[in-house]
Structures are given as C-alpha cells and as structure tokens.
Amino acid sequence: MQTIYSAAMTGKDFTTIQDMFATDCLEEAERDYNLLLSSLVMDENRGIEKVDFRNIRTTAYTDAMVVSIEADYNVQSFYKNFWNEEINRNNSDFSDVMRFEFKKENDKWVLTNLGCNDLYYY
C-alpha cells in the first residue's frame, strides 16, 4: 500500500512498481494505477501535500489469498482560489477499506490487483 501510494504521489510511472504485480494482471494494474495517479497529481492549482495513514487494521483471508486493509487517514491538501488566487489549505480525515489480492508466480507472492483506492480530499 505504502509503495503504491508513494509512487503515485510523487508522479512515478507504473514501470517503477510493475514488479509487484502478476504478469497476466499488468495491463489492468497499469490502467488502475494511471487512474490513481491522475487523481493525485498535483499542479499549481490543487493537490495533496501530505497523507498520514493511521489505525491500520489488516485481515488476511488465506483461502482466497486476499489481504484487506482498513485505515483512517488524514489528507493535507491545497487549492488556489479562483477569484483572488490565494492558496487555501485543508486538513481532512477519512476512512477506507482496500483489498489486495495475491498469487504466487515464480516462487514470489505478487499482486493481482492494484488494491489502492483514490484518496479523497477537498
């Protein structure tokens, strides 16, 4: 989770994390990553400055090779006011559940889905 969000928040290309995914799932994972990336990319008008995850709770379902992560998070974001061009900052709390699915490929556990959701902020 941390690796994927860190890559997306710093604008890194999918190729920097593609080794985490199963070969037959790369196309879907890349598409989902690019959607996540586009929701997090900062520009001079808006964006996320910092995210702090806390109260992380995990549940593993070994029969299905799934790990569910429930977490609270705080997002520090900014946006430029359209009328006066001042930078406004927000600090918002959210909760989310993420589902990571795995399979073994070449003696290594890899993801079959992206798992990370868009981070909400306003």
pLDDT at residue 1 is higher than 60: yes
Contact in structure between 113 and 100 (CB atoms under 8 Å): yes
pLDDT score at 28: 97
- The string of pLDDT tens digits covering residues 3-59 is 999 999 888 999 999 999 999 999 999 999 999 998 886 788 888 888 999 999 999
pLDDT at residue 101 is higher than 60: yes
Class of domain 2-111: alpha beta
**The two structure tokens encoding residue 118:** 């868009």
CA distance 23 to 45: 37
CA distance 18 to 32: 12
Domain layout of the chain by residue ranges: 2-111
